[in-house]
A and B are shown apart, each in its own frame.
Chain A
Amino acid sequence: MISKRNSREKASPFRWTLAKKKIVWAYIFLAIPIVFFAYIRIYPTFFAFQMSLHDYNPMAVEQPFVGFENYEKVFTELSKKKSITKSAFQNTISYVVFGVPIQLCLALCIALMLNEIRFMSTLYRILFFLPFVTSTIAIAWVFRMLYQPRFGLFNVILQWLSLPQQPFLKRPEQALPSILALVIWQGMGFAVIIFLAGLKQIPRTYYEAAEVDGASRWHTFRYITFPLLNPSIVYLLVLQTISFLRMFAPVIAMTEQGSGGPLNSTTTVVLRVYREAFQSFNMGYASSMTVVLFAMILGVTIVQLSITSRRIN
């Protein structure tokens, strides 16, 4: 490529040196980012793989090579009837399977309603958006208080409505949905904004045509809005799936001593990684779990890419 350019530009030595100068400057400008990515992003990625093949404990003198033993341990734990690791993976999948569809359906309904109104729509948009920009830890603690048995707001409301009091975070069956409710609540505003942007892209003439044809509201949604909103839906599905797979902060903030309890009913893969790596110092084992998480996220991304590219073709 360069030699081609050289022969073409030989006639004017000024441009030739300019092209060369630009190449040099491009490298100078990129030097720090390249070093940064190599040392802070790429090297640690390989380091994590390498660590997962060792019995890596920073407190020990030696870090013996153990091959795939850590991975075997992950899969033995997963095949056991009951283990913390199995709970972690099961809960993480529950968060994704229930959280993503509920959040996106709610957000789509809100976006459709917001798209139809003009008066005060900015105010609503800001209000729906506020939870998304607040610190997860701070707001998770607020929800933890709202869920408290004696003085929490939710139980106060239940009492007003003469309904039985609920233990929420204190009972294994209720704890995961309670945490999920916070996460859905907090992230919904983001999905609303993306959906609204997607709705704005749909040409108005389509709706005018539908109206002339006398299409019902449902048909307009089913045959115009929904198909044309598909890029936003796929984008959000992937993004939210990944963010639910990586769930950590709400669980550590809302469970007793950040344990993912009661009885490991809310613990997640990342919480398990954190506790194994930084409380038990089983860093090799923890690394192998992060590699499994990475594989899951990669799988989601590949599915997205294949869907998106199929649509383009």
Chain B
Amino acid sequence: MESVTPSNIFKDKGRGSSVGKAGDSWAHKFFSYLLLTLIAFTMIVPFMWMLSTSLKPEKEILRRNIFPIEPTMDNYSEVINETDLPLWYKNSFIVAVISTISVAFFDALAGFVFAKYEFPGKRPIFIIFLTSLMVPTEMLLIPWFIMSSNPPIGPSWVDTYWGIAFPGVITAAGIFLMRQFMQGVPDELLDAGRIDGVSEFGLFWRVAVPLSLPAIGALCIFNFLGNWNAFIWPLIATTRSEMFTLPVGIQQFSSEADTPWNLIMTGASLSVVPLLIVVIIFQRYIIEGIALTGLKG
């Protein structure tokens, strides 16, 4: 291995926060970049294939050319005009927005209470919330389905937005995350507010929430992504095509004998691309958010 010289140590110090460079060398770096580029390539190729197929005319689908010879938007107009995909888009969006707003509000509120209030039964309630994380949703699917078909009041929840969204309108993981974050809100600030006559809800809304916006933002992004991509419960909770969400709709494209690859790839592109743009814009928050929640977990 490389000998340690004073110049070597100096060079390493100049490199700031990066770690793990015992015996660094030019060749090693080159090799890392080569491998990383190769892996990055395998990450993009399926997306490129998806987009390229969505632009192919029908007669080119079963040919072995990778890029379309005569690119066309026909698949997009067919998917938008002749299938329920615009409705699925709308449904996915509504469900994701409803549950994200609800999660942001109730998880933050419950997190605030668990972080800043003392009341009898606090520990058992918190523990019960957390243990519910251990029960896999798969175990609850069948009971939820029975409950949705015969709710205690009102008509069936099947094929309604509430029916798709209800399992995720409050999340234990979110409450836990918000509690961790809200513990950092200074008590002095809350007491000062109380002396000034701010209501308890006002303290939450005007003191705790503004101070926790980064965590609430991360929670919102994850929740939106999770709901947009959710599959198994929307599959069970919807029976009519008009109420499908995007993943459920894409899955049902194939139910005919022939697989309409061009339409599936177009639907997949339409479902993935807007999300990729959002992710690229918010990538810093998402990556930091995962690291934050991941290490706490």
Interface residues of A, Cβ cutoff 8 Å to B: 1-2, 18-19, 21-23, 25-27, 29-30, 32-34, 36-37, 40-45, 47-48, 51, 58, 110, 112-118, 122-131, 133-139, 141-143, 145-146, 150-151, 153, 156, 159, 185, 189-190, 193-194, 196-202, 204, 207-208, 210-212, 214-217, 220-221, 225, 231-232, 235, 239, 242, 246, 248-249, 252-253, 257-258, 270, 273-274, 277-278, 283, 286-287, 290-291, 293-294, 297-298, 301
Asked, given contacts A114-B36, A125-B287, whether A44 binds B147 with beta carbons under 8 Å apart, the answer is: yes
- Whether A25 and B117, one on each chain, are in contact in the complex, defined by CB atoms closer than 8 angstroms, is yes
- Whether B290 and A190, one on each chain, are in contact in the complex, defined by CB atoms closer than 8 angstroms, is yes
Asked, given contacts A135-B229, A197-B294, A235-B294, whether A33 binds B43 with beta carbons under 8 Å apart, the answer is: no
- Whether B268 and A141, one on each chain, are in contact in the complex, defined by CB atoms closer than 8 angstroms, is yes
Contacts of B144 in A (CB 8 A): 40, 44
Which of the residues B49, B110, B112, B166 comes within 8 Å of A142, measured between beta carbons? B49
- Whether B20 and A112, one on each chain, are in contact in the complex, defined by CB atoms closer than 8 angstroms, is yes
A-B pairs with the 7 shortest C-beta distances?
A197-B291, A44-B143, A138-B268, A26-B117, A137-B247, A47-B143, A25-B200
Complex: how many Å from CA A4 to CA B175?
A: 29
- Whether A129 and B268, one on each chain, are in contact in the complex, defined by CB atoms closer than 8 angstroms, is no
- Whether A207 and B20, one on each chain, are in contact in the complex, defined by CB atoms closer than 8 angstroms, is yes
Q: In B117-170, which residues have CB < 8 Å from any A CB? A: 117-120, 122, 125, 128-129, 132, 134-136, 138-147, 149, 166-167, 169-170
Which of the residues B35, B49, B167, B279 comes within 8 Å of A129, measured between beta carbons? B279
Contacts of A196 in B (CB 8 A): 291
Knowing that A23-B118, A137-B247, A246-B138 are A-B contacts, what are 16 other residue pairs whose CB atoms are under 8 Å apart, sorted by A's residue number? A33-B109, A40-B167, A47-B143, A58-B146, A116-B32, A118-B16, A127-B40, A130-B44, A145-B49, A151-B61, A190-B290, A201-B295, A221-B20, A277-B142, A283-B142, A290-B142
Interface of A is mostly: helix
Asked, given contacts A128-B43, A137-B231, whether A23 binds B279 with beta carbons under 8 Å apart, the answer is: no
Q: With an 8 A cutoff between CB atoms, is B219 at the interface?
A: no
Residue in A closest to B39 when the chains form the complex, CB atoms = A110
- Whether A45 and B139, one on each chain, are in contact in the complex, defined by CB atoms closer than 8 angstroms, is yes
Task: Identify 28 residue pairs between A and B in the complex whose beta-carbon atoms are under 8 Å apart, listed by A's number.
Answer: A23-B118, A29-B109, A29-B112, A30-B113, A33-B109, A33-B175, A41-B132, A43-B143, A45-B139, A116-B21, A116-B28, A116-B32, A123-B40, A133-B225, A138-B268, A145-B265, A151-B62, A156-B66, A159-B64, A200-B19, A211-B23, A214-B4, A217-B23, A257-B255, A274-B232, A274-B236, A290-B141, A294-B139
Contacts of B255 in A (CB 8 A): 257
Task: Give the total of B residues in contact with A, Cβ under 8 Å.
Answer: 108
Give min CB distance, B237 to chain A, whole Å: 11
Asked, given contacts A114-B36, A210-B22, A211-B22, whether A136 binds B46 with beta carbons under 8 Å apart, the answer is: no
